[in-house]
A and B are shown apart, each in its own frame.
Chain A
Amino acid sequence: MNVLNFHLLSQLQYVEPALCGMLVYFLVRSKAARQFGFLIALLCVRLMCSFICIPLLYFSAHGIERHLAYQVYFYVYWASYALEAIFSLLVIYSIFKLAMAPLKGLQTLGMLVFRWVAAISVAVAIGVALTPHLSGIKFMVAMITQLQQTSSILTLCLLLFVCFAIRPMGLSYGSRIFGVSLGLGFLATINLVNSAWIAHYVSMYSLFSVINALAVGLTLLTWSAYFAFPEPKRRIIVLPTTSPFLRWNQISMALGDDPGYVAVGGIPPDLFAPAELEVMRRASAKMPTALESPSGMHSLSA
């Protein structure tokens, strides 16, 4: 079984850089590179990892001592994985920003919440890894694992949000925002399932690696299809006046505005210009007369 997996993976490992390169080409050609800059960065990390790891895999059987080759492979693989976890968070952030672009108020509020959630996720990842018996590489692996899990959960939350709030945001299932979210969500699910499964495998050439390869291939092909064809235009967003989206957007837009200020006491007289002081003096001199003689008003009206 391992021999079959080995031959399958030996072929598939060359497909990933080709698919990544093709996707970067489609992204640049469709002029979406600026909008999806973090996705391009994520793909470039994958490409770099492939360019280092594929020769290592080849030369481990033809020249380089295989234990040394495995050590280098291990560190390159997991270092790129850490970078990918960070870029995944940034991709989710940029997707959320793009999706919420028409609703500026909710976008600002959502991004504020997202930044807090991301910061708490990183803090939790470090906190979980900080146990007395973990140090060095084990600490890093534990922290990255936790970060990846929280990143996957955040991705699935984003996918659910984009899927169910797609109409109020003027998007359709043909939109690139949805396509990228779907791909990220699929990878996140595979990641989480694999995390529960990985402990049962002791070889690199297992069924586990084959399923991983097929999942990433499917995702890269899906993204390529989304970027190869023109995107349907974003619809005009028409919301009923009673829509909670509209109401919350208005409330969010008002949040954080710089308010006006009024002085209510403790004002030293030298703050005012002499002309202002004269006006106030005259006004205060008139006030008791006006209050004390209501008959004056009667006589005026008469």
Chain B
Amino acid sequence: MKNIVRAFVVVLALTGAAATTLTPPASAQHKVTATRTSMLPVPVCAPDDPNACGMGLGGH
């Protein structure tokens, strides 16, 4: 049990570290590059997006 938990934690940390190397620098993009873990849909587009990021279209 102890080893499973430890292995899981190490995997989480390594995954996080690997993802950090793949993340573009925040200042290098004009698009939203942050994420908030939530059950609400993530507004990934700019606030003045002409398509309103698909909001109110029923997923189409």
Contacts and interface: CB of A to CB of B under 8 A. Distances in A.
Contacts of A203: 44, 53-54
Contact of A61 (B29, B31, B33, B58): B58
A267 interface: no
Interface of B is mostly: loop
A98 to B, nearest CB: 18
B31 A2 contact: no
Contact of B27 (A142, A149, A187, A212): A142
Contact of B52 (A6, A67, A145, A160): A67
Interface string B4-18: 011001101101110
A219 B56 CA distance: 29
B19 A204 contact: no
Interface residues of B, number: 48
A69 B56 contact: yes
Interface of B: 1-2, 5-6, 9-10, 12-13, 15-17, 19-20, 22-27, 29-45, 47-49, 52-60
7 contacts: A7-B59, A53-B40, A61-B57, A142-B27, A146-B26, A189-B13, A192-B15
Given A77-B38, A182-B9, A192-B19, 11 more contacts: A66-B52, A69-B55, A69-B56, A70-B43, A81-B34, A138-B30, A160-B13, A189-B13, A194-B35, A198-B35, A201-B44
